[in-house]
Amino acid sequence: MDIRTVESSIVKDKYYVIDHSSGLTIYVYPKPGYNSSYAIFGTNYGSVNTRFKVDGGEEIVTPDGIAHYLEHKMFESEDGDAFARYAKTGANANAYTSFEKTCYLFSCGDHFEESLEILLDFVQSPYFTAETVAKEQGIIGQEIKMYDDSPSWRVMFNTLVGMYQKHPVRVDIAGTVESIAEITAEKLYQCYNSFYNLHNMVLCVAGNVTAEQVLKIADKLLKPNEKHDVEPIFEDEPYEVGQEYVEQTFAVNIPMFDLGFKEKVGAEPITSQQAAYNDILLYALASPSSRLYNDLLNSELINDTFGYERLEGPGYAAILFGGESREPKKAAEVIKKHIAELKQSGVPQEEFERAKRAVYGSVISDFNSNDSIANVMVDMHFEQRELFSYVDAIANATLEDINARLDEVLDVNNCTLSVVTAEK
């Protein structure tokens, strides 16, 4: 077992990285004097991982939505469910499945060790039967229908469907009512045994805890795993978007839109530096203090729902701008025109400085939040980035760095506009 200390002269803090003998990587970020703690246990397995090989064997194909389904079923056991156990410690527990990962988490004010024991125990103890799997289909089916009826969810997913021609990021995380009907206990165990291997997982803890506390529980409960090579399979995705425009009608008062810019994806995730430059660039471009935002607002093309986000995972990356607009096509054209002009002239020095200060301040303030620290560490672990290197990259970013990054992203000739319009 190897324990490393990672320190930051900027944040004036440190955390520990433990390569546990079980195969699990553990991060512990102590915050002495804090009244609470937060732990998150994640696996590098999300909704896009429906095709894969294990140790070079035959290709395995699973139903859409099975990663999310598995997340729901993990809380059950022969002796009850994990939420009932957490109720006795007073911890607040939850879980989520995204495109690229599944995570289980809790926060607590006290009884940390007991709560961590629950987390490590139930995530390593799958229990599926034909009866319990069938029972969940109706519950998740209702969840799927709820998302189908959500205009904000549909406008985002329609953007992905328009941008991506083959990649499974275009498929809803929960799957469809038809696809989850194909899920069996055997398929759940197959996915669990493939992806819920400690070598493919990470535990991140932040708050009023010590590395010794976490190690004591880890040594007691972690079950050593033989490492397996899990190879995700994705079809070759063209760089070009599949559709430039997607529209759906909904019962909305104001139309909604997402303008998605598809990126070229390399063999490896982007670096900590590139991630930092993205954040500064997008703040300079589209934050409420930006020229673009205020031009759109003053022209009554957007309201305060306007925002942006960047999506990234295995085989996909995109930047989305969106919100409510009574003239979404016109708003999209203004955004594209502004980006094209910025690529020609470069980001103004003053706007760069303002964005850099704002992003830096926001990131530093996040170090006061246990859940922000732990959640970001999970993301960065799976993205092969390091937290303090990201902070350093923000602090040391130059205008030249940001303009160079702008040249690499936001291709105005390779984007999809998704619109949800009011029913007539």
Residue 253: CA count within 13 A, CB half-sphere: 0
Q: What is the pLDDT of residues 296-352, one digit of tens each?
A: 999 999 999 999 999 999 999 999 999 999 999 999 999 999 999 999 999 999 999
The interaxial angle of helices 370-382 and 387-396, nearest 10 deg, is 100
Question: Does residue 376 lie in a domain region?
Answer: yes
Domain co-membership, 339 together with 389: yes
Catalytic positions: 71
Element (H, E) at 29: strand 25-30
Question: Does residue 347 lie in a domain region?
Answer: yes
Domain co-membership, 95 together with 214: yes
Which domain range does residue 225 map to?
2-232
Domain co-membership, 203 together with 299: no
Asked if residues 76 and 69 have their Cβ atoms less than 8 Å apart, the reply is no
Domain co-membership, 307 together with 181: no
Q: Which SS3 state, helix, strand or coil, does residue 416 take?
A: strand
Average pLDDT over residues 132-146: 86
Question: Does residue 239 lie in a domain region?
Answer: no
- The reported pTM is 0.95
Domain co-membership, 153 together with 225: yes
Question: Does residue 76 lie in a domain region?
Answer: yes
Nearest to 43 by CA among 3, 2, 98, 93: 98
Per 3-state DSSP, what percentage of the chain is helix, strand, and coil (rounded to 5)?
45, 25, 35
Q: What is the pLDDT of residues 181-233, one digit of tens each?
A: 999 999 999 999 999 999 999 999 999 999 999 999 999 999 888 899 999 99
Query: Quick one: what percent of the chain has pLDDT higher than 90?
Result: 89
Element (H, E) at 5: strand 2-8
Domain count for the chain: 2
Question: Does residue 190 lie in a domain region?
Answer: yes
Q: How far apart are CA 379 and CA 74, in angstroms?
A: 21
Q: Beta-strand (E) ranges in 142-255?
A: 201-207, 230-232, 245-250
Q: Check which CATH number belongs to the domain holding 260 and give it.
A: 3.30.830.10
Domain co-membership, 221 together with 288: no
pLDDT at 424 over 80: no
